[in-house]
Structure 1
Amino acid sequence: MRVVVVGAGIVGAACARELARAGLVVTVLDRGGPAAGTTAHGEGNVLVSDKGPGPELELAKLSRRLWPEILDGLPEPAGVEWDAKGGIVVATTADGAGALEEFAAAQREAGVTAEPLDAAALAAAEPHLTRDAALAVHYPDDAQVQPSGAATALLADALRHGAGLRTGCELLGVRTESPRREGSRLTGVRTSQGVIDADLVVNAAGPWSGETAARLGAPIDVRPRRGEVLVTAPLPPTVFHKVYDADYVGAVGSGSQDLQTSSVVESTRAGTILIGSSRRRVGFDDRIRPFVLAELARKALRLYPRLAGVQVMRAYGGFRPYVPDHLPVIGPDPRLPGLWHATGHEGAGIGLSAGTARLLRELVTGTAPSLDPEPFRADRPAVLGADATEGAA
């Protein structure tokens, strides 16, 4: 079977790797280069802490189990910078503590390890964290990768297993059985580098998946959602886990177009500190807004007062693929046989890429799926929403 994967970010790379390892003939195409879009503008989170019980948490648990297995099979995994550092969620108010306690209890029922920390344990784990914490919960399964390095490693493994890569190659449209009719199957894609024959096309174009699907004649409601991150100059060891305010879960789950911010602080192996997180829907406007950065800094100082006066080395932003019901889209599109989607992960694509790719491979090859694929189906109402319907070809 000939497969075209549209998108060379981490989700596309993971899908290409799984399909190539399954013996399919895979071509990855991207109008830029590998990991040059959303993947290059993330923090590399592999999280279970921020997901309540439900399908996305099950996908996160599958991905968390798969990541170490995948890395063990890579010949040169050093660039991935896997760090099973664990996460700590902190509530700084009584109301926040109540909500966090309830959230963590529900996660424990779903099989997530979520350990409350008393003041002494929290101080030992994060000595520079504010002492004004009403509740802190430790998630030992949270981890981090270097996102571009991880995507490159996955893509390199796909190439080792026979996949091809076309960069600077823009998808223009679909080629189908002639004439095009209801139920007509795709036979390839038209690109800026000519026609590529395919039996199956995987739309893994991240925030551009809506546009990609529209060019293929089967629009889906995937929109860009903007986020920014501050990066400090290298510091002595200051932050030892991924630490974030309990407000983060609410910001992730919000569907508001307006700015949503919460404090997320973590270190990198280079000693820099990454400070997030923001979410706002502004289309593909890529301008960095100082007021957003100021809000990130203000909230970070609430958790880590010691960061006051630390030099900020740079700031960057990127777009996440947002779906109104906050669930990824994984599986076949019944409107166009041969079209499949692997997108809509918003800010969780790095962590969820491993499970997404495994589930996609299982569905494509007809093997028993590792989890129920039904919640991620491409024809659910949120995916075929008003925006997608209005843009249908």
Structure 2
Amino acid sequence: MTGAAPRATAMRGTDVLIIGGGMIGCALADRLTLAGAAVRVCERGGVASGTTAHGEGNVLVSDKGPGPELALAQLSRRLWPAVLERIAERLPVDAAAVEWEPKGGIVVATTDAGAAALVDFAESQRGAGVRCEDLDANQLAAAEPALTRDVCAAVHYPEDAQVQPAGAATALLAAAIAAGAVLETRCEVTAPLINAGRLIGVQTSRGPRHADVVINAAGPWSSTVSHLLGAPIAIKPRRGDVLITAPMPPTVFHKVYDADYVGAVGSSDAALQSSAVVESTRGGPLLLGSSRRQCGFDDRLRPDSLAAIARRAIRLYPVLAEVAIMRAYGGFRPYVDDHLPVIGPDPRLPGLWHATGHEGAGIGLSVGTAQLISSALAGQTDEVDIAAFTVDRPAVITQSTEPSTKKVLR
């Protein structure tokens, strides 16, 4: 059933309330309305104003080793073109704003140790069906003329792609609204509505909102929402920063990053982790990343993070030493200690589902996550087992996140 549109009657008569109007919430709204559900999205701020607005728009398979997250990434990558084609048929302007760019990625190693690790990693990915090709020095120079020649190994991932994240989220939401979904912004969830031990909706700053299914898709704020609903999950904010250069002539032609990036993504260290990530945008500026740090919701830009990003980017592309930085921004990724998303029903509270914890991969994994949720709600199986992302696992439900006894009846 990969890529196939869900049967329009599969969820007819089901009222679904999605908490969060970011990339995951918008993808859910699109998929569930397509399946026939009556969907309402409650967003406490503006659409795509949180993590989604502060991302790079990556749709990657290159940074994930064999396992359930890679399988979800592969599913999502196959779904994206079909989803955009469907949206374009009805909403061509919104679909164009997604800026879908299947430009591929190149991962490079600048040390012998890094090269050995990259070669082994790529070989394990090939075993899981990922397309990747080793590049020799001449091939690399042809693909990225401005890249440093001080490279020990390079691997090309033709399936890697990029979108404009806010454009992608709003296109998905526009498709949902065109199909009947309801959006409420400035609508903050304040308490659960529970009857006979089942979640039947939420109390919001705009009044009660009832639903058969409530999906917590609040990204880094999913922990706060889950505590309010009485079924806490351990989602933490993990901050990342991005530098934006002044507009440039064509200089970088793929998403290019150092092999250290994979280690930084998989690290559980709370201290600053940085690696070189360089990619172009259609408007001309380059996006330079990346950093990871656990600092709560501290929203300050930190010089050490920005300096580390700049140093590593210049190491890959020496030409950047002469390029002006136009601005910098940071945001929060929804982090789980075992580095897997949280997708599926909450066994402690019937009626509550979660779709969160994707950390920096939420843009790419969004449409696959929406398909898994849609299939599960309709009682159907999918090619990726949703059980791999179960809520009921130690990294998500710990002794410090025992469910609240608070009950609100409506």
The alignment's TM-score, normalised by the length of structure 2, stands at 0.93
Q: Offset of 1:114 from its aligned partner?
A: 1.0
- Is 1:50 matched with 2:63? yes
1:73 aligned counterpart, secondary structure: helix
Give the letter for the 2:103 counterpart: K
Which of 203, 209, 217 is matched with 1:196 structurally? 209
Matched residues in 1 for 2:79 and 2:305: separation? Answer: 35
Matched residues in 2 for 1:236 and 1:163: separation? Answer: 41
Give the letter for the 1:155 counterpart: L
Partner of 1:38: 51
Which of 103, 106, 111 is matched with 1:88 structurally? 106
Partner of 1:153: 171
Which of 228, 244, 255 is matched with 1:231 structurally? 244
Matched residues in 1 for 2:153 and 2:274: separation? Answer: 20
Partner of 2:375: 362
Matched residues in 2 for 1:187 and 1:272: separation? Answer: 47
Q: Offset of 1:47 from its aligned partner?
A: 0.1
Which of 310, 315, 329 is matched with 1:302 structurally? 315
- Going from structure 1 to structure 2, the CA distance change for 1:209 and 1:109 (only over 3 Å counts) comes to same
Partner of 1:169: 187
- Is 1:275 matched with 2:288? yes
Matched residues in 2 for 1:30 and 1:366: separation? Answer: 27
Partner of 2:32: 19
Q: Offset of 1:95 from its aligned partner?
A: 0.2
Pairing of 1:3-18 with structure 2 (within 5 A): 3-18=16-31
**Contact 2:107 2:259 (C-alpha < 8 Å) held by counterparts:** yes
1:32 aligned counterpart, secondary structure: coil
2:257 aligned counterpart, secondary structure: strand
Matched residues in 2 for 1:167 and 1:361: separation? Answer: 23
Q: Offset of 1:385 from its aligned partner?
A: 2.2
Partner of 1:323: 336
Give the letter for the 2:171 counterpart: A
**Contact 1:203 1:339 (C-alpha < 8 Å) held by counterparts:** yes
Pairing of 1:374-393 with structure 2 (within 5 A): 374-389=387-402
Q: Offset of 1:369 from its aligned partner?
A: 1.6
5+ residue gaps, structure 1, are 179-183
Matched residues in 2 for 1:185 and 1:385: separation? Answer: 22
Give the letter for the 1:188 counterpart: G
**Contact 2:227 2:403 (C-alpha < 8 Å) held by counterparts:** no
Give the letter for the 1:209 counterpart: S
Partner of 2:7: none
Partner of 1:117: 135
**Contact 2:104 2:255 (C-alpha < 8 Å) held by counterparts:** yes
- Is 1:218 matched with 2:236? no
Which of 337, 341, 345 is matched with 2:358 structurally? 345
Q: Offset of 1:111 from its aligned partner?
A: 0.2
Partner of 1:127: 145
Q: Offset of 1:390 from its aligned partner?
A: 8.3
**Contact 1:173 1:215 (C-alpha < 8 Å) held by counterparts:** yes
**Alpha-carbon displacement from aligned partner over 1:200-244 (angstroms, at most 9, x marks no partner):** 000000000000011000000001000000000000101000000
1:308 aligned counterpart, secondary structure: helix
Matched residues in 2 for 1:121 and 1:362: separation? Answer: 42
**Contact 2:272 2:293 (C-alpha < 8 Å) held by counterparts:** yes
2:322 aligned counterpart, secondary structure: coil
Give the letter for the 1:87 counterpart: G
Partner of 2:221: 208
- Going from structure 1 to structure 2, the CA distance change for 1:387 and 1:251 (only over 3 Å counts) comes to farther
- Is 1:252 matched with 2:265? yes
Give the letter for the 1:102 counterpart: D
Matched residues in 2 for 1:392 and 1:284: separation? Answer: 27
1:371 aligned counterpart, secondary structure: coil
Matched residues in 1 for 2:195 and 2:402: separation? Answer: 23
2:221 aligned counterpart, secondary structure: helix
**Contact 2:108 2:151 (C-alpha < 8 Å) held by counterparts:** yes
**Contact 2:230 2:403 (C-alpha < 8 Å) held by counterparts:** no
Give the letter for the 1:164 counterpart: V
Matched residues in 2 for 1:260 and 1:392: separation? Answer: 38
**Contact 2:237 2:294 (C-alpha < 8 Å) held by counterparts:** yes
Matched residues in 2 for 1:275 and 1:132: separation? Answer: 19
Q: Offset of 1:389 from its aligned partner?
A: 3.0
Matched residues in 2 for 1:386 and 1:185: separation? Answer: 22
Partner of 1:65: 78
Which of 94, 109, 116 is matched with 1:98 structurally? 116
Q: Offset of 1:392 from its aligned partner?
A: 7.6
Partner of 2:306: 293
Partner of 2:159: 141
- Going from structure 1 to structure 2, the CA distance change for 1:392 and 1:55 (only over 3 Å counts) comes to farther
Q: Offset of 1:107 from its aligned partner?
A: 0.1
**Contact 1:9 1:36 (C-alpha < 8 Å) held by counterparts:** yes
Q: Offset of 1:387 from its aligned partner?
A: 3.7
For the aligned residue pairs, the C-alpha RMSD in angstroms reads 1.0
**Contact 1:207 1:319 (C-alpha < 8 Å) held by counterparts:** yes
Partner of 2:11: none
1:258 aligned counterpart, secondary structure: coil
The alignment's TM-score, normalised by the length of structure 1, stands at 0.97
Does 259-268 or 68-77 show the bigger shift? Answer: 68-77
Matched residues in 1 for 2:15 and 2:135: separation? Answer: 51
**Contact 2:133 2:157 (C-alpha < 8 Å) held by counterparts:** yes
Matched residues in 2 for 1:305 and 1:262: separation? Answer: 15
Runs of 4+ aligned structure 1 residues displaced above 6 Å come to none
Give the letter for the 2:119 counterpart: E
Matched residues in 2 for 1:387 and 1:92: separation? Answer: 42
